[in-house]
Structure 1
Amino acid sequence: MAQLIPITTPTRVFEDRTQTIYAAADVPNSQMMVTSSEDRMVRLWDVETGEVLKQMKGHTGDVMGLAVSRNGQMIATGDENGELIAWLANTGEPLTNAVKAHGSAVRSLDFSPDDAFVVTASSARNDQTVKFWNTKTWEQSKYYACGSTVHCVRYARSGVPMLAIATDQDIQVYIGEALQTKFKSHSHATLSLAWSPDRTRLLSGGDDLDPTIREWDTSSWTQVGDPWTGHTYKVNSISVHFSGTYAVSASNDNTVRLWQLSDKQTIAIFQHAASVVCAAFSADGTHILSGGYDKRVAVWAAPKGTLAVAVAAVVDASKELVSTVNFCLSKSSLSHLVFFFNQQGRKLCRTVSRVYFNTTSAKGNVPLNHKFAISSCVFRIKNLLSRNQHCR
């Protein structure tokens, strides 16, 4: 049984004193956070000072969904009237006018792994579609008819596009353009989804009739183990830490739960004063953001040591023993790099050929120049050093 981490208070709280917070997300490679709320407003915050940098106006209804592009340059938001707006993340200025995307509320959006498309989903019973929008032209490129009310859309973060769609009836998974599978996931509606970083697992959250989280093996699309229990009302949101070691979930039971993926146990419970609509890890993995009907975004410290990676590096023209590794944690242009040093302190290289995330399942490869800040590294000597002690 996992031991609960005694976290009782957030490290920071952002107040939106009069309005429900529907969504919150960290903006990668910046000191900013973006939120959407029921006052038709999208807000860009400085996470260090708590200052609202920009109130982004343009929606005609409650702003119920938002997504930030993988490169941190764009924000997409959707409202209760079915409108979609794209924004520049660094300034909060609109990239588009309001686009009529659906006939009713857009509750879920996501960017494709290459940021070429935004996919939107409407919760309207007379819609039942997901639509794809070209991020160059912001015109619709295609749509999928899902046959049931759609609650959530989520792309796996890298590789060949894998899109999961959660509906009242099932989960549908597309790989590229092809429908890979559809399967019954919960006893009633599936409301939330999250992929593991290595794409080998998909997590799903159920509604009030089945407020569990279920884990799915993406090689067979079968359930892994028993449902994760703890929430007493619907699971509105799930997010997986980029190390693959933890997940967070938000619920109408006024709590955010932090789960340890190795044993599927709750290790921390974060309390809100009302239903929690959204919860997500910050881009650098050091904090958890959560928001909801208590009209605030709370920032909680993520457990230390959440990243464990093994690195196989290429050092051109060098046959020296690697003695130390330095990680760049800043959100500057040099972030997401690993620096290797020899025993005399001379820098050997600053990039790696491959990173293996230590997850609960198969290890997945991550390309050069990581998409997230790197905080620690674990070496396996037999993989790192050859007999004459140079990096492979």
Structure 2
Amino acid sequence: MASSRSRRVEYDRFIPFRSAMDMDYARFALTMPSRPQRDGSRESPSSVAYQKLLDECILKNRSRILAFKSAPEAPASMLPQFDEPIRPQKKQQRRIPREPERVLDAHGMLDEDGLNLLDWGSNNVLAIGLDDTVCLWDDANKSSKVLLQAVEDSGPITSISWSPDSTVLAVALGNSVLALVDPATGQDVNVTEEDENQTPVLSLAWRSNSILTVGRSDGTVVDYDFRKDDTSICFYNGHRRGVCSLKWSALSGRYLASGGHDKLVHIWDACMPVSHHHPRRHQWLHRISSHTSIVKALDWCPTRSNLLASGGGRNDHCIKFWNTVNGACLKSIHAGSEVCALLWDKNKSELLTSHGSPKNQLTLWNYPSMTRAAELSGHSSRVHFLAGSPLGGVVASAAADETLRFWNIFETPKTTKPELPFAKFSVIR
């Protein structure tokens, strides 16, 4: 039964039906050269007025809206550019002075591999060994003085090192005597007796304010505790020739790195269990034999406790980085000349190295990319020693040309005001 309701055809509002289109008018509009004019008598006055306003305001009496031949009313250069991307401002690079800020005479500086004659203490006093004399430079008031002078036949100064609190300066003499000197009075606090069986001390490193690690020219490494009757408390056996570099890890205080004339680098773990047969003898944790010359340049990274940097001498010219957990070499780079000393920046991942012939320069590296950030020239001979200021920024270098130079090379850390207790809380409940 047919429905009484008439069927209503519903058209899609997006796709028109062909039956609903006026095909004749469309053909006429496409084939005619201009738009046909509609019969105005059939349109209402309001439609005519609307069309007139549309032509004047929107179409501007043009036959088409999209007319490719009509030029824009205003040039594009005069229009405001709101879609330009905001370019980030480049970070201003730190300016590193190419000239030293101060140069001092250092008459009597020995030109020998393996000695350690420069150290900057936490009291902001720089100690330097010149032949048989130890001099102090107070950087606060820019003054110098002679701390001690070795007696005749005791030999030249071979190594010096400040204790962590800078209350004692350890001084090693060529006749194997080791003295602890009070910097205020210049008097000996403790002195080891001269022993014909002992060889000269080449390197010193304080593990704490009471324990001093000593490296000698025969390859022996010993911990001394001067508070005890038997001062030698621990031995490290591994080197076959002179130990010219000793460094304790500042972050952990657990690992000791040693470099020597035998081209070896040893990493020692002070917490590693020792043998029952030798209760005071430590065995090395890692032995590194990849350098081909003397290894005097050693330094621990101050921000990564397991990262050690080492530099080779005249026949090596390489800087190497080591993971001290597994002993793996992380990176090796050819520096172009012998590496005499290494110094990490305490605040950034930058490494300073001193070199020998042909340039005798100081080179600042960015780690880990190892790109050269700066190269400083001024010394005319091998730059044996580097020491950083405890305040940051300034580095002292001593060379065989008998000069001591101060460079403003590291970035000075920004001083921050200490935060008051409970500053983050407005109310204490």
Query: Normalising to structure 1: TM-score of the pair?
Result: 0.71
Secondary structure at the counterpart of residue 73 of structure 1: coil
Partners of 1:108 and 1:57 in 2: CA distance: 19
Aligned residue for 1:107?
Answer: 202
Aligned residue for 1:229?
Answer: 334
Determine if contact 1:250/1:256 at 8 Å carries over to the other structure: yes
Aligned residue for 1:279?
Answer: 386
Q: Shift of the alpha carbon at 1:269?
A: 2.3
Q: Shift of the alpha carbon at 1:193?
A: 1.0
Aligned residue for 1:162?
Answer: 255
Give the strand-richer structure, 1 or 2.
1
Aligned residue for 2:352?
Answer: 248
Q: Shift of the alpha carbon at 1:299?
A: 0.8
Aligned residue for 1:62?
Answer: 156
Equivalent residue in structure 1 for 2:210, among 96, 116, 122: 116
Partners of 1:294 and 1:238 in 2: CA distance: 19
Aligned residue for 2:77?
Answer: none
With over 3 angstroms needed to count, the CA separation of the structure-2 counterparts of 1:147 and 1:34, relative to structure 1, is closer
Aligned residue for 1:211?
Answer: 317
Q: Shift of the alpha carbon at 1:6?
A: 5.4
Q: Which has the larger radius of gyration?
A: 2
Aligned residue for 2:75?
Answer: none
Equivalent residue in structure 2 for 1:45, among 130, 137, 147: 137
With over 3 angstroms needed to count, the CA separation of the structure-2 counterparts of 1:185 and 1:243, relative to structure 1, is farther
Q: Does 1:95 align with 2:189?
A: yes
Equivalent residue in structure 1 for 2:222, among 131, 134, 150: 131
Q: Shift of the alpha carbon at 1:177?
A: 4.9
With over 3 angstroms needed to count, the CA separation of the structure-2 counterparts of 1:228 and 1:119, relative to structure 1, is same
Q: Which amino acid aligns with 2:298?
A: L
Aligned residue for 2:69?
Answer: none
- Per chain length, whose mean CA-contact separation is higher, i.e. which structure has more relative contact order (CA < 8 Å, sep 6+)? 1
Aligned residue for 1:152?
Answer: 245
Unmatched 5+ residue regions in structure 1?
309-325, 328-337, 341-346, 351-384
Determine if contact 2:346/2:392 at 8 Å carries over to the other structure: yes
Equivalent residue in structure 2 for 1:339, among 418, 421, 424: 418
With over 3 angstroms needed to count, the CA separation of the structure-2 counterparts of 1:204 and 1:19, relative to structure 1, is closer
Q: Shift of the alpha carbon at 1:86?
A: 1.2
Partners of 1:18 and 1:164 in 2: CA distance: 29
Determine if contact 2:392/2:410 at 8 Å carries over to the other structure: no
With over 3 angstroms needed to count, the CA separation of the structure-2 counterparts of 1:84 and 1:301, relative to structure 1, is same
Q: Does 1:180 align with 2:285?
A: yes
Partners of 2:150 and 2:181 in 1: CA distance: 10
With over 3 angstroms needed to count, the CA separation of the structure-2 counterparts of 1:87 and 1:187, relative to structure 1, is same
Q: Which amino acid aligns with 1:298?
A: R
Determine if contact 1:8/1:270 at 8 Å carries over to the other structure: yes
Aligned residue for 1:239?
Answer: 343
Partners of 1:287 and 1:120 in 2: CA distance: 28
Secondary structure at the counterpart of residue 153 of structure 1: strand
Aligned residue for 2:57?
Answer: none
Cα displacement string for residues 126-168 of structure 1 (whole angstroms, at most 9, x for unaligned residues): x221121114358222322224112211111133421111131
Determine if contact 1:5/1:268 at 8 Å carries over to the other structure: no
With over 3 angstroms needed to count, the CA separation of the structure-2 counterparts of 1:250 and 1:64, relative to structure 1, is farther
Secondary structure at the counterpart of residue 213 of structure 2: strand
Q: Shift of the alpha carbon at 1:115?
A: 2.3
Partners of 1:185 and 1:90 in 2: CA distance: 44
Q: Give identity over the alignment, percent.
A: 17
Q: Does 1:192 align with 2:297?
A: yes
With over 3 angstroms needed to count, the CA separation of the structure-2 counterparts of 1:237 and 1:303, relative to structure 1, is closer
Q: Give me the CA root mean square deviation.
A: 2.9
Q: Which amino acid aligns with 2:100?
A: P
Aligned residue for 2:104?
Answer: 14
Partners of 2:167 and 2:252 in 1: CA distance: 20
Give the helix-richer structure, 1 or 2.
2
Aligned residue for 1:140?
Answer: 232
Q: Which amino acid aligns with 1:260?
A: N
- Judge which range, 3-12 or 183-192, deviates more: 3-12
Aligned residue for 2:411?
Answer: 304
Partners of 1:100 and 1:290 in 2: CA distance: 32
Determine if contact 2:121/2:390 at 8 Å carries over to the other structure: yes
Secondary structure at the counterpart of residue 119 of structure 1: strand
With over 3 angstroms needed to count, the CA separation of the structure-2 counterparts of 1:37 and 1:18, relative to structure 1, is closer
Q: Does 1:73 align with 2:177?
A: no
Q: Shift of the alpha carbon at 1:245?
A: 1.7
- The size of the alignment, in residue pairs, is 311
With over 3 angstroms needed to count, the CA separation of the structure-2 counterparts of 1:61 and 1:256, relative to structure 1, is farther
